[in-house]
Amino acid sequence: MNRDEDLEDKLISLFQWLHAHPEIGFEEKNTTARLRDELEQAGIEVLDSGLPTGLIARITGTRPGKVIGLRCDIDALPIREESGLPYSSQNEGRMHACGHDSHATIMLGAALLLNRHRQTMRGTVKIIFQPAEEVIGGAQRVMATGLLDDLNMILGVHSYPGFPAGTLGLAEGSVMASVDRFAITIHGMGTHAAEPQRGIDPIVVQAALVQSLQTIVSRSVSPFSHSVVSVTHVESGSTWNVIPETAVLEGTVRTLEPADRTFIENKIRKMTQLVAEAYDAEADVTWIPGPAAVVNDSALYHVAAKAAKQMGFKVGKPEDTMGGEDFSCYLERCPGLFIRVGTGGGYPSHHPRFTVDPSALYPAAWFFSGLTLDLQDA
Ligand code: NI
DSSP structural state of residue 217: I
| CATH architecture of the domain with range 178-289 | 2-Layer Sandwich (3.30)
Q: What is the CATH number of domain 5-175+293-377?
A: 3.40.630.10
Q: Give CATH 3.30.70.360 domain extents, the chain.
A: 178-289
C-alpha 4 to ligand 1 mean position (Å): 28
State the span(s) of the chain assigned CATH 3.40.630.10: 5-175+293-377
| pLDDT (0 to 100) of residue 1 | 64
CA distance 272 to 221: 18
What DSSP string describes 143-198?
HHTSTTTT-SEEEEEEEETTS-TTEEE---EEEE-EEEEEEEEEE-B-EETT-GGG
Q: How far is the CA of 237 from the centre of ligand 1 (A)?
A: 37
Residue 104: count other Cβ atoms within 10 Å of its Cβ.
29
| Type and span of the H or E element at 252 | strand 246-255
Predicted local distance difference test score (pLDDT) of residue 224: 92
The residues that bridge with 73 in the sheet, in sequence order, are: 130
User: How far does the centroid of ligand 1 lie from the alpha carbon of residue 97, in Å?
Assistant: 8
Mean pLDDT by 10 residues, the chain (378 residues): 88 98 98 98 98 98 97 98 98 98 98 96 97 94 98 98 98 96 98 98 98 97 95 97 98 95 98 98 97 97 98 95 95 97 95 98 98 92
Q: Give the C-alpha separation, 305 to 159, whole Å.
A: 17
Q: pTM for this structure?
A: 0.91
Distance 98 CA to ligand 1 centre (A): 5
